[in-house]
Amino acid sequence: MAVEPLLSVRDLTVTFATDGGPVRAVDSLSFDVERGRTLGIVGESGSGKSVTSMAVMGLHTGADVSGSITMEGRELVGLAERDLNRLRGRKMAMIFQDPLSSLHPYYTVGEQIAEHHRVHFGSRRAASRRRAVEMLAEVGIPEPRRRAGEYPHRFSGGMRQRVMVAMALACEPDLLIADEPTTALDVTVQAQILELIARIQQERDLAVVLITHDLGVVARVAHDVLVMYGGRAAERAPVDVVFAAPAHPYTRGLLDSLPRLDDADDAPLRAIPGSPPSLLAPAPGCAFAPRCRRAASAGAEARQRCERVEPGPVAVAGHMVACHLPLGPDAAPCTPSSEATP
């Protein structure tokens, strides 16, 4: 796969100034996304996954963003707001968790989609309006001509998210960033939206960045997975590798702790002890070390290294992992839990 990536992120660091001192929400993050592929970014609250997507869109006005974000070779970090505005919507678009709060309640759905098109293409009112109806049809909204004239509150949660997808795609961007696009939706509606995104991706050869906490969603739609923890990349690999042979103890722990629908086991789950770290007081070493069983059971010297030295990313055969004690590819497969933990 020697394809030139569409989006290339290198050493991205996002720091916010807070009353409690600077908070590094994203720390030295690197990844690529190619056309036609979906990168799933997985993490829990405070992992930095949403901050990353906002940084790519250039939406962090108050934060200090360093490193490099290039789109088709063009650097986005430090780009003037005016130039960014030209790219946003046109080259890259974003959909969010809660479609109702991202839609303007005073304008009809059709007007909101058409405005996008007018701004970026300078098209006439009638043409942009036609485009809006076309887009609503494309995302599977029945009676698009009539629905284009309705206000967002008339749409159900799933239909609103379809409207967001229509709006995001109206200007034919190359990159779609979807931040927890189905988290607020019911599971039957989630399945519809995931299918919609996958279909449109195929038709348009879109690069998609899907941000989620749900490992099931990632398994269903992602080609590559980036696991984040405490603002850093823990692991990055093709989806099958991440699920079949996770190298980071955190990834492994997440998979082991998950109750599974296809598992009739009643034994207690193998929970990860503790809670995700606070970014206000980051540990000097590996962010996961305080919760890591592998570190805890390692020798004193190795454990000290985990606690004091931040592990840098190491790449082995396309599989990147940031861990002093990575799991080997021959570690026991990730089967549903059978052993109990206190």
Partner 1 sequence: MTNDNTTRPGPARPVHGPLLSVRDLTMTFPGGRGRSARPVRAVDNVGFDVARGETLGLVGESGCGKSTTGRMIVRLLEPTGGSVTYDGRDISHLSQRDLRPLRQEIQMVFQDPHSSLNPRRTVARIIAEPLLVQGRTAAEARRRAAELMELVGLIPEHIDRRPHEFSGGQAQRIGIARALATGPRLIVADEPVSALDVSVQAQIVNLMGRLQRELSLAYLFIAHDLAVVRRVCDRVAVMYLGRIVEIGPKERVYAAPAHPYTRSLLSAVPLPDPVRERARERITLLGDPPSPASPPPGCTFHPRCPKARQICRTETPELGPPAPGEVRQVACHFPETP
∠ CA 332-43-20, rounded to 5°: 130
Which tokens sit at 211? 């941000």
Number of Cβ within a 10 Å radius of residue 90: 17
Stretch that binds partner 1, among 68-76, 86-94, 184-192, 310-318 (CB under 8 A): 184-192
Q: How many residues make up the chain in this entry? A: 342
Which 124-183 residues touch partner 1, going by CB under 8 A?
Answer: 156-159
Report the alpha-carbon distance of residue 196 to residue 201 in Å, rounded: 8
Cβ at position 151, least distance to partner 1 in Å: 16
| 204 or 223: CB nearest partner 1 | 223
| 56 or 222: CB nearest partner 1 | 222
- Share in percent of the chain as helix, strand, coil (round to 5): 35, 20, 40
CA distances from 178 to 27, 50, 83, 108 (A): 21, 10, 22, 23
Cβ at position 186, least distance to partner 1 in Å: 4
Cβ at position 194, least distance to partner 1 in Å: 8
Which 21-80 residues touch partner 1, going by CB under 8 A?
Answer: 44-45
| 66 or 257: CB nearest partner 1 | 257
| 149 or 216: CB nearest partner 1 | 216
Residues 6+ apart with CB under 8 A from 136: 109, 110, 113, 144, 147, 148, 162, 163, 166
Sequence-ordered strand ranges (E) for 202-261:
207-212, 224-229, 232-238
- Mark residues 253-292: x for contact with partner 1 by CB under 8 A, - for none: xxx-xxxxxxxxxx-xxxxxx-xx--------------x-
CA distances from 166 to 37, 141, 269, 290 (A): 19, 10, 40, 44
Residue where the block lists tokens 């497969």: 333
Number of Cβ within a 10 Å radius of residue 32: 18
| 67 or 140: CB nearest partner 1 | 140
- Mark residues 189-228: x for contact with partner 1 by CB under 8 A, - for none: xxxx-xx-----------------xxxxxxxx-x------
| 255 or 323: CB nearest partner 1 | 255
- Selected from 243, 245, 246, 321, the binder of partner 1 by CB under 8 A is 243
Please report how many Cα atoms fall inside a 13 Å half-sphere around the Cα of residue 116, on the Cβ side: 30
Cβ at position 73, least distance to partner 1 in Å: 31
Contact 320, 233 (CB under 8 A): yes
| # residues contacting partner 1 (CB under 8 A) | 51
| 78 or 216: CB nearest partner 1 | 216
| 98 or 115: CB nearest partner 1 | 98
Contact 271, 341 (CB under 8 A): yes
- Mark residues 81-120: x for contact with partner 1 by CB under 8 A, - for none: ----------------------------------------
Residues that bind partner 1 (CB under 8 A): 44-45, 156-159, 186-192, 194-195, 213-220, 222, 239-240, 243-244, 253-255, 257-266, 268-273, 275-276, 291, 341
